[in-house]
Amino acid sequence: MRDLIKMDLFKLKKTRFFIAVMIVAFGVTFAAPLLVKGFIELLKNMLESPGSSDPYSAGELQMLARDLSRPIGFSAILRSPLGGLQLVTIPVMIFIVSFLHRDLNHGYIKNLAGQVPCRGYLAVSKYIVICLAEAVLFILGIAGSTLGTLISRGISFDSDVGSGLLECLLKLLILWGLSAVLLLISTGLGKKSFAVVVSVIFATGALAIIYMPLSFALQQLFNTPDIHIEQYVPDQMFGMTNINVGAALAGSLILIIAGLYGTVTLMNKRDVK
């Protein structure tokens, strides 16, 4: 297993897509706060232009400009390690599928399968490496957001940094859980195209259009407003802040165990082509 992981780490370092995603993770999260600063300057110019707005809208613009100019707490950056941006999350999810399915596109996986006691190890090795890659992307996202925010508006180290770090780690665990699902679809079932579609759905949180009506139906059925399915499923929690710790841990671990078990079982049963 150690040699497989070393081999997959080497492949990861040589993957251009990974290099591109790293650049996007850092570059976009760095640029986003600077764009906010540019927006603030635009607001100020609008306020300084005589007769540009009525007193009521001018007061609202001043309040918005003041809010956007205040230093942001570091905990807020930790709670959104990829900046909360789909522009970053979507390529990250697609990269996960691309790397997990990579060897199935080439003939040499057949040679590798004959050199390991369990063909499922090939999938487990890739999963471990992709989890490490996701941790690196989180670090780059946080670094980009921190640097961009320091330049644009400043950072305050608030009392919620500890809870922000916990939420960041939970989101990394959630991403590992979602990656296990993508591993099962792309590597276990060999359905790369379908896995790409699922990865985009995860990145955009599009399943909310199913969860919300289902929650409403259950609320009506049990005559209670306290049922909100979307707050307890991993793909939705990944884009949320102040997530439920128990739900995040339970949902992620279930996905990881089920995804790995299903993938290893399928890899061992079918012929490798």
- pLDDT, tens digit (0-9, with 9 covering 90-100), for 144-182: 999 999 988 888 888 889 999 999 999 999 999 999 999
Say if residue 50's pLDDT is above 90: no
pLDDT at residue 22, rounded to an integer: 94
* Range with lowest mean pLDDT among 21-25, 51-55, 161-165, 254-258: 51-55
Mean pLDDT of 212-223: 83
Does the predicted model carry a pTM greater than 0.95? no
Closest of 44, 25, 36 to residue 71, by C-alpha: 36
* Range with lowest mean pLDDT among 40-54, 81-95, 223-237: 40-54
d(CA 175, CA 82): 12
d(CA 82, CA 88): 7
Q: Are 91 and 244 in contact (CB under 8 A)?
A: no
Say if residue 183's pLDDT is above 70: yes
Q: Are 156 and 44 in contact (CB under 8 A)?
A: no
Tell me the pLDDT of the chain averaged across its residues.
85
Mean pLDDT of 58-73: 73
Q: What distance, in Å, lies between the first and last C-alpha atoms of the chain? A: 21
* Range with lowest mean pLDDT among 90-99, 158-167, 188-197, 226-235: 226-235
Buried b (16+ CB within 10 A) or exposed e, 138-153: bbbbbbbbbbbbeebb
d(CA 78, CA 161): 8
